[in-house]
């Protein structure tokens, strides 16, 4: 797939890295979508990780992207918070004139084994890039370098999806299951993400799904199929 903010993830032609956040996401969780949509924050917008190609035997459709690049401020690509729905913020941007929309949330709880290992903030993204015909692509920025060759897991109730990782990003291993996963995310109460770091630390992050369905409906208004 492409580089997103970079979405650092979004399109092979669109580096969306290191954007300034419009509205502090951590503060916006408790406020309505209207009160934060134009307030600027000094914090950098987290960027969905730049997606790499999954192992060919495990992916039904490929979306190759260039290797992850260092985050750089892109003034013209600055995202706008268009709505806050529960724990999920809805954002839009047009880097290089290419429309990008994404929903973003932070984990509600985190555990690691061994405990108290340092890591960067984690984020969950659901992104759409209509210019590439990519809609509702799920990715996780997990906050540490993943162990090469290891698999992560995304669990929603009894449903479990294998995730492949590269760098600090996780994506669904079987792209043919992504629509079903997004549907489960819309209906679920929370989602659990599991991963293993290069040092062998096992992490479990839980994200509330409150407001995700509304956030996806909102970004769908700006990034239509």
- Higher-pLDDT residue of 52, 28: 52
- pLDDT digit string, tens, across residues 104-142: 999 999 999 999 999 999 999 999 999 999 999 999 999
- pLDDT digit string, tens, across residues 38-86: 333 335 566 565 565 565 444 344 444 444 444 444 434 688 999 999 9
Residue with tokens 């190609």: 53
pLDDT at 45: 62
Q: Classify 75 in phi/psi space as left (phi over 0), alpha (psi -120 to 50) or beta.
A: alpha
- The whole-angstrom separation of Cα 102 and Cα 135 is 10
pLDDT at 75: 36
Handedness of CA 41, 44, 47, 49 (dihedral sign): negative
- The whole-angstrom separation of Cα 112 and Cα 135 is 32
- pLDDT digit string, tens, across residues 178-223: 999 999 999 999 999 999 999 999 999 999 999 999 999 999 999 9
- pLDDT digit string, tens, across residues 144-164: 999 999 999 999 999 999 999
pTM of the model: 0.71
Domains and CATH numbers, the chain: 3-222 (2.60.40.1880)
pLDDT at 14: 32
Task: Report whether 161 contacts 172 (CB < 8 A).
Answer: yes
> What are the strands of the beta sheet with 123-129, ordered from one edge?
80-85, 88-93, 100-105, 123-129, 134-141, 169-172, 159-166, 151-156, 190-196, 202-208, 109-113
- The whole-angstrom separation of Cα 142 and Cα 45 is 15
Question: To 10 degrees, the CA torsion angle through 69, 137, 55, 141?
Answer: 50
Q: Classify 157 in phi/psi space as left (phi over 0), alpha (psi -120 to 50) or beta.
A: left
pLDDT at 58: 44
In the chain, the DSSP E strands lie at 3-4, 9-10, 80-85, 88-93, 100-105, 109-113, 123-129, 134-141, 151-156, 159-166, 169-172, 190-196, 202-208
Residue by residue, DSSP assigns 73-121 as --GGG--EEEEEETTEEEEEE-GGG--EEEEEE--SEEEEESTT-----
pLDDT at 33: 37
pLDDT at 105: 98
- The whole-angstrom separation of Cα 57 and Cα 53 is 11
């Amino acid at each position: 797939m492409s580089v997103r903010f970079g979405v650092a993830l979004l399109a092979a032609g669109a580096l969306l890295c290191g954007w300034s956040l419009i509205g502090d996401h951590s503060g916006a969780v408790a406020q309505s979508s209207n009160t934060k949509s134009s307030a600027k924050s000094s914090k950098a917008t987290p960027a969905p990780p730049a997606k790499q190609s999954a192992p060919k035997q495990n992916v039904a459709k490929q979306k190759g992207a260039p290797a992850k690049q260092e985050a750089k401020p892109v003034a013209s690509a600055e995202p706008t918070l268009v709505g806050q729905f529960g724990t999920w913020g809805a954002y839009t941007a047009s880097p290089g004139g290419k429309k990008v929309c994404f929903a973003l949330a932070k984990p509600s709880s985190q555990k690691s084994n061994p405990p108290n290992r340092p890591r960067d903030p984690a984020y969950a993204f659901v992104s759409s890039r209509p210019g590439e015909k990519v809609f509702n692509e799920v990715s996780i920025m997990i906050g540490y370098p993943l162990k090469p060759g290891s698999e992560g897991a995304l669990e929603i109730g009894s449903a479990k999806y294998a995730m492949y990782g590269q760098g600090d990003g996780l994506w669904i291993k079987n792209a043919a299951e992504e629509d079903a996963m997004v549907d489960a995310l819309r209906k679920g109460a929370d989602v659990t993400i599991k991963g293993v770091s290069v040092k062998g630390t096992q992490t479990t992050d839980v994200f509330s799904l409150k407001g995700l369905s509304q956030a996806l409906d909102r970004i769908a208004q700006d990034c239509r199929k």
